[in-house]
Amino acid sequence: MEVRLKKSGRKRGGAGLALVGWQIYIFGGTKNAHKTYKECDKYDIRTNAWISIESLPLCSESVAAEVYGNDILVVGSHLPGLYYYSVGKNTFSNIFDLPSLLRKNIIVHEGKAWIYCDFGVYESRKYDLKNWNKIGDVDGVNMHLTQHVRIENIEERKSQDISVTILDIDDS
């Protein structure tokens, strides 16, 4: 099925995206490095319509979003924590404060959220989503914030003099 999206009215990059059912959710982002958004929208694929939803608490770029059940977890630059967006209630809740206001990334795997924070020196933490408890730091992980994630093993690569480590998410 091919879908041609109607224009949203907000040109932006660096926004977080998530698909829940027939709706694409877009969180924050930036326009040409001159405007940063806290506004969020959803696009309904069936009706070809954009709908404004609850805004993020602060403007944020480099946003990452991950579906958790029927809701969405959101992190991003300048957001102080891990945010839980309730699709049904159209509300954000700050679940945890995170130690960095810089770029972050998130993965949900087997009921756990893996959050990557940019400290200049990269640090990672994991959370148990059933109880919303911090499980602990991930030992020995240096993660450059790219989309290079593989579940089988850890492998180092060089990219423009930046060491990239691919994280093994296996809990064993």
Distance CA 46, CA 135 (A): 40
Decide if 3 is inside a domain: no
Residue 11 falls within a domain, yes or no? no
Query: Amino acid identity of 66?
Result: E
The pLDDT assigned to 25 comes to 95
CATH number assigned to the domain comprising residue 28: 2.120.10.80
Which residues fall within 8 angstroms of residue 144, CB to CB, at 6 or more apart? 122, 159, 162, 163, 164, 165
Question: Per residue of the chain (172 residues), what is the pLDDT tens digit?
Answer: 566 777 777 788 889 999 999 999 999 998 877 788 999 999 998 898 999 999 999 989 889 999 988 899 898 888 888 889 999 999 999 887 776 666 677 877 766 677 776 654 344 556 665 665 555 555 544 443 333 332 222 333 332 222 223 333 333 3
Q: Cα dist. 116→31, 75, 138 in Å?
A: 24, 10, 10
In a domain, 75, yes or no: yes
Q: Does a structural domain hold residue 70?
A: yes
SS3 assignment, position 46: coil
Residue 115: inside a domain, yes or no? yes
Tokens of 117: 């924070």
CA distance 70 to 135: 23
